[in-house]
């Protein structure tokens, strides 16, 4: 159905090829995952499969891409659109309408379908992604995850036999990811849709992919095989690919436990009777008695559309804490944090920062104290060069010219971002742009740092680099607040987790307390890391006790049990 042969592509202004000698075929009804580090060419490969490359994006392409034996280089994009639907990495790049309904109707209208059929497709595609009640909303007012669902619905409404999806779940909450994956599985199994899916989310990818293709940082293809074969050894980690957590556990356990399991339920069956129980010491929140830096009292925020996003929030953030704010898309997480630096103002209630009511302060006045890195870096980056991007904020807070270069180099080093001051920011990959946005905030040296979705769109090594930077800043005394759906990141780094649902805080405590609170997790549509699911499933049978958050803690428990047994 899809055939790629000796594909090479180099962007017009690039010094190296984005894709180098890529060859593979996809059979009808297959689900093929594409993984690799940032800059490996995953997005570029996706864009070749529906003809956007070479027709709409400039560069030099050699080799062939065929869809049903039709070469994409000679076919028209509007003809290929009937065969290949695409979901772009940045959903906003696909939006231009005044309502969600208008966005979804646009494609079928261009196919000249009858109005009754278009209506059926709108309703069906919205239902598949759980966005029916948002039909009349302005797309750009939706949360990041909601925008992503709409982008998927746009592609589904065209009913193409092939779906190409570039990071379709990166900004979704865990329930949203599960719903999208179930939708993909249903489209594949019931409607024989062929799916090519580029993603860093390997824990989810192994649930649906028949094959995994790995691209390396130099744009070459280095692996193609079944998920367990490709991701089941340590090679994946050296390539910057996030290994599924249960695969990592199996690597540490060594031989004797069978093939790596695809989910926690399968892992239980393979481990049952092998290990005993051990209580895991609770991690102390050393900042629990420190002075309060941010305080919200009865905070309410209502948008001009009349939608109430925050409904009576009361919370204190203390100096030196590392806090993760979690919850379903649209639960109010980003809205809450935007009140911490006056990007938004309370409809009622109050917010204080360092004891000062923000009602009398501006965002500029708070910039030295509270730094904010946006979920979408393109909402933050606007200069023509990397150097100008840094200089803008630093000049606005009065940093001397001779110090700007020093702070720029310091922040680039801290984020491990290899770019020069004359580089054009928008030529960087999304993960690199996220690092740049974070670096420009770090250069301002705020006491409180808020990062909205710090790991979205980044390969695992880049995500680890970012989180280690935040950990180092926290150890040095900075207060860190992250908004995230990535429960693995919360388990590894956060000392406190705040859970939101419907504009309210429904749980607040240590990650271990939160992840083992099934009621709170269910209400917030969250899912704990696979290793926590495994530990929780085994606890009733006398295996690991609740409190385990990481693979290392689980294997420590296993090794202890083996010593006791021997």
Give the separation between CA 246 and CA 268, rounded to whole angstroms. 11
Give pLDDT tens digits along the chain (566 positions).
899 999 999 998 788 899 999 999 999 999 999 999 888 999 999 999 999 999 999 899 999 999 999 999 999 988 898 899 999 888 888 898 899 999 999 999 999 999 999 999 999 999 988 899 999 999 988 877 788 889 989 999 999 999 999 988 877 778 778 877 888 888 888 878 899 999 988 888 888 999 999 999 899 999 999 988 888 876 666 777 888 999 999 888 877 788 889 888 888 888 876 655 555 556 666 666 789 999 999 999 998 878 899 999 999 999 999 999 999 888 999 999 999 999 999 999 999 999 999 988 888 889 889 999 998 888 889 899 999 999 998 998 889 998 999 999 999 988 888 888 888 888 787 778 888 999 999 999 999 999 999 988 778 888 888 899 999 999 999 999 999 988 999 999 999 999 999 999 999 999 989 998 888 898 888 889 999 988 888 765 545 556 889 998 888 777 655 555 55
Helix (H, G, I), strand (E, B) or coil at 537: helix
263 Cα distance to chain centroid: 20
The pLDDT of residue 178? 80
User: In this structure, what token pair is assigned to residue 331?
Assistant: 């639960």
Positive/negative CA dihedral, 103, 107, 109, 114:
negative
DSSP 208-275: H-SEEEEE-TTS-EEEEE-HHHHHSSTHHHHTT----HHHHHHHHH-SSS-SPPSSHHHHHHHHTTS-
Residue 444 backbone zone (phi > 0: left; psi -120 to 50: alpha; other: beta): alpha
User: In this structure, what token pair is assigned to residue 468?
Assistant: 């280690």
Q: CA nearest 292: which of 457, 439, 479, 33?
A: 479
Helix (H, G, I), strand (E, B) or coil at 85: strand
**CA dist list (Å): 83 to 25, 76, 460:** 16, 11, 32
Give the separation between CA 20 and CA 10, rounded to whole angstroms. 9
What are the DSSP E strand ranges found in 457-545? 479-483, 496-501, 504-509
What are the DSSP E strand ranges found in 17-83? 19-26, 31-35, 59-67, 70-71
Which helix H or strand E contains 38, and what residues bound it? none
Altogether, the residues listed in the chain come to a count of: 566
The pLDDT of residue 479? 96
Give the separation between CA 143 and CA 330, rounded to whole angstroms. 6
410 Cα distance to chain centroid: 26
Give the separation between CA 325 and CA 316, rounded to whole angstroms. 13
Q: Do 374 and 437 meet the contact criterion of CB atoms below 8 Å apart?
A: yes
With tokens 């908004």, the residue in question is 483
The pLDDT of residue 285? 62
Phi and psi at residue 560, to the nearest 5°: -65, -45
Give exposure, 119-142, as e/b (b: 16+ Cβ within 10 Å): eebbeebbebbbbeebbebebeeb
What are the percentages of helix, strand and coil residues in the chain, rounded to 5?
40, 20, 40
User: In this structure, what token pair is assigned to residue 526?
Assistant: 């969250």
Helix (H, G, I), strand (E, B) or coil at 53: helix
In degrees, to the nearest 5, what angle opens at C-alpha 409 toward C-alphas 403 and 414? 125
Give the separation between CA 433 and CA 383, rounded to whole angstroms. 12
Residue 284 backbone zone (phi > 0: left; psi -120 to 50: alpha; other: beta): beta
The pLDDT of residue 542? 47
Burial class (CB in 10 A: 0-12, 13-18, 19+), 27: exposed
In degrees, to the nearest 5, what angle opens at C-alpha 195 toward C-alphas 190 and 199? 130
Q: Do 12 and 215 meet the contact criterion of CB atoms below 8 Å apart?
A: no
Give the separation between CA 77 and CA 330, rounded to whole angstroms. 35
Peptide linkage before 364 cis (omega within 30 of 0): no
Phi and psi at residue 341, to the nearest 5°: -130, 25
Give the separation between CA 339 and CA 349, rounded to whole angstroms. 11
Q: What is the DSSP letter of 282?
A: P
Which helix H or strand E contains 455, and what residues bound it? none
Give the separation between CA 505 and CA 269, rounded to whole angstroms. 36
Neighbours of 115 (CB within 10 A): 10
Q: Do 58 and 11 meet the contact criterion of CB atoms below 8 Å apart?
A: yes
Neighbours of 391 (CB within 10 A): 21
């Amino acid at each position: 159905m899809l055939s790629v042969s000796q594909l090479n592509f180099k962007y017009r202004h690039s010094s190296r090829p984005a894709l180098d000698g890529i060859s593979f075929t996809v059979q009808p009804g297959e689900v093929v995952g594409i993984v690799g580090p940032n800059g490996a060419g995953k997005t570029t490969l996706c864009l070749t499969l529906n003809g956007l490359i070479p027709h709409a994006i400039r560069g030099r392409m050699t080799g062939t891409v065929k869809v049903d034996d039709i070469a994409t280089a000679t076919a028209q994009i509007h003809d290929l659109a009937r065969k290949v639907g695409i979901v772009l990495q940045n959903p906003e790049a696909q939006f231009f309408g005044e309502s969600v309904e208008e966005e979804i109707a646009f494609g079928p209208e261009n196919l000249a379908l009858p109005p009754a059929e278009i209506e059926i497709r709108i309703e069906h595609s919205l239902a598949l992604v759980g966005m029916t009640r948002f039909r009349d909303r302005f797309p750009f007012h939706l949360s990041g995850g909601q925008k992503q669902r709409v982008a998927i619905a746009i592609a589904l409404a065209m009913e193409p036999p092939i779906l190409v999806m570039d990071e379709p779940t990166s900004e979704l909450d865990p329930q949203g990811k599960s719903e999208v994956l179930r939708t993909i599985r249903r489209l594949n199994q019931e409607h024989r849709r062929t799916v090519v899916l580029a993603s860093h989310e390997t824990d989810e990818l192994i649930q649906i992919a028949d094959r995994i293709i790995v691209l390396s940082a130099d744009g070459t293809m280095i692996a193609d095989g079944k998920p367990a074969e490709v991701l089941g050894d340590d090679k994946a980690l050296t390539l910057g690919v996030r290994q599924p957590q249960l695969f990592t556990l199996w690597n540490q356990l060594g031989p004797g436990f069978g093939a790596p399991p695809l989910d926690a339920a399968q892992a239980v069956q393979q481990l049952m009777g092998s290990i005993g129980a051990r209580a895991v010491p609770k991690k102390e929140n050393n900042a629990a008695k420190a002075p309060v830096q941010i305080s919200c009292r009865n905070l309410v925020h209502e948008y001009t559309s009349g939608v109430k996003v925050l409904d009576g929030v009361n919370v204190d953030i203390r100096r030196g804490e590392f806090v993760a704010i979690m919850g379903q898309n649209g639960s109010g997480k980003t809205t809450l944090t935007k009140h911490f630096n006056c990007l938004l103002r309370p409809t009622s209630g109050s917010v204080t920062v360092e004891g000062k009511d923000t009602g009398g302060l501006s965002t500029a006045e708070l910039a030295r104290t509270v730094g904010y890195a946006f979920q979408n870096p393109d909402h933050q980056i606007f200069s023509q060069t990397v150097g100008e991007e840094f200089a803008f904020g630093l000049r606005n807070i009065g940093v001397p010219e001779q110090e700007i270069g020093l702070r720029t180099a310091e922040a680039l080093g801290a984020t491990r971002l290899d770019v020069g001051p004359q580089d054009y920011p928008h030529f960087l990959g999304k993960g690199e742009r996220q690092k740049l946005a974070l670096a420009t905030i770090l250069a301002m040296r705020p006491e409180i740092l808020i990062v909205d979705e710090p790991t979205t769109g980044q390969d695992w090594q880049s995500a680890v680099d970012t989180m280690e930077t935040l950990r180092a800043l926290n150890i040095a005394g900075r207060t860190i607040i992250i908004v995230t759906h990535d429960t693995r990141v919360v388990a590894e780094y956060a000392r406190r987790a705040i859970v939101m649902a419907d504009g309210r805080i429904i749980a607040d405590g240590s990650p271990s307390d939160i992840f083992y609170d099934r009621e709170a997790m269910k209400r917030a549509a969250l899912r704990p890391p696979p290793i926590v699911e495994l530990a929780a499933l085994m606890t009733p049978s006398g295996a690991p006790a609740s409190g385990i958050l990481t693979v290392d803690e689980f294997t420590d428990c296993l090794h202890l049990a083996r010593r006791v047994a021997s």
